[in-house]
Amino acid sequence: MVSKSLILMTLSALVISFAKAYDPSPLQDFCVAIDDPKNGVFVNGKFCKDPKQAKAEDFFFSGLNQAGYTNNAVKSNVTTVNVDQIPGLNTMGISLVRIDYAPYGQNPPHTHPRATEILVLLEGTLYVGFVSSNQDNNRLFAKMLHPGDVFVFPIGMIHFQVNVGKTPAVAFAGLSSQNAGVITIADTVFGSTPPINPEILAQAFKLDVNVVKDLEAKFKN
């Protein structure tokens, strides 16, 4: 007869295995993503081409030497290099971004639901930080970065970067997912489609309902 403790241990192991929040480890050398499923195998969001048909271009991207366009509302630009740009990243659990900031530009508060981010500053001066979860009393972890400094944003945590200098800033960041995803807080809350009922947001943010309506108008997609 199977003991109760063994059953509980088995159930716990199953729960842990199903609750993994990271990209799965690859089971082959590579799994180059293709859009045509006719002769492919579906793996974690992408189909894989025949490995014998893989070529160097499947693992290559050019252009991160070029500054991104920052003449926009937030005065920053994120150039993403994930599985959509490099199909050879499929199943590899890693991606990269270049972030350009105009003077006083920012990468607004956002989260990556599927990745931890490690950022290195190459040029300029950034004020960066993340906020821990409710269980940790929403503590702010913030730091002023100078060229050569590195900062880590844990998976799922709301974080931001702000260029506090009078000159442009440039950073590169690695993410622990082939497609980390991004949820920009203001865009998501005030710019959803269809809009969230303003009275709900007014109560949640302790704002006048007319203020919420104005914010929703500004962030409307």
Residue 76 belongs to some domain of the structure: no
Q: ∠ CA 115-71-98 to the nearest 5 degrees? A: 30
For position 11, what pLDDT does the model report? 43
82 annotated ligand binder: no
What pLDDT band is residue 38 in, cutting at 50, 70 and 90? low
100-114 pLDDT, tens digit each: 999 999 999 999 999
Q: Which candidate, 100, 101, 110, 106, places its Cα nearest to that of 131?
A: 110
Give me the CATH number covering residue 133: 2.60.120.10
Domain count, the chain: 2
159 annotated ligand binder: yes
- Both 200 and 148 in one domain: the answer is no
Q: Locate 88 and state its tokens.
A: 């050879």
Helices (H), strands (E): how many in the chain?
A: 4, 13
For position 42, what pLDDT does the model report? 56
Question: Which region among 48-52, 77-81, 197-201 has the lowest average model confidence (pLDDT)?
Answer: 48-52
The arrangement of strands across the sheet holding 117-123 comes to: 76-81, 95-101, 169-175, 117-123, 150-153
DSSP 82: S
- Both 216 and 123 in one domain: the answer is no
- Both 138 and 49 in one domain: the answer is yes
135-150 pLDDT, tens digit each: 999 999 999 999 999 9
Residue 68 belongs to some domain of the structure: no
pLDDT above 90 as % of the chain: 74
52 pLDDT exceeds 70?
A: yes
* pTM exceeds cut of 0.85: no
93 pLDDT exceeds 60?
A: yes
32 pLDDT exceeds 50?
A: yes
Q: Locate 71 and state its tokens.
A: 């003449």
199 annotated ligand binder: no
Average pLDDT, the chain: 88
135 vs 23, which has greater pLDDT? Answer: 135
175-210 pLDDT, tens digit each: 999 999 999 999 999 999 999 999 999 999 999 999
34 pLDDT exceeds 90?
A: no
- Both 177 and 189 in one domain: the answer is no
DSSP 10: H
Which residue range is the domain that position 132 belongs to?
Answer: 18-55+81-181
Instruction: Tell me what the mean pLDDT of segment 159-185 comes to.
Output: 97
In angstroms, the CA 20 to CA 29 distance is 22
- Both 197 and 176 in one domain: the answer is no
123 annotated ligand binder: no
110 annotated ligand binder: yes
Q: ∠ CA 92-96-100 to the nearest 5 degrees? A: 170
Specify whether the CB–CB gap between 88 and 26 falls below 8 A.
no
- Both 35 and 129 in one domain: the answer is yes
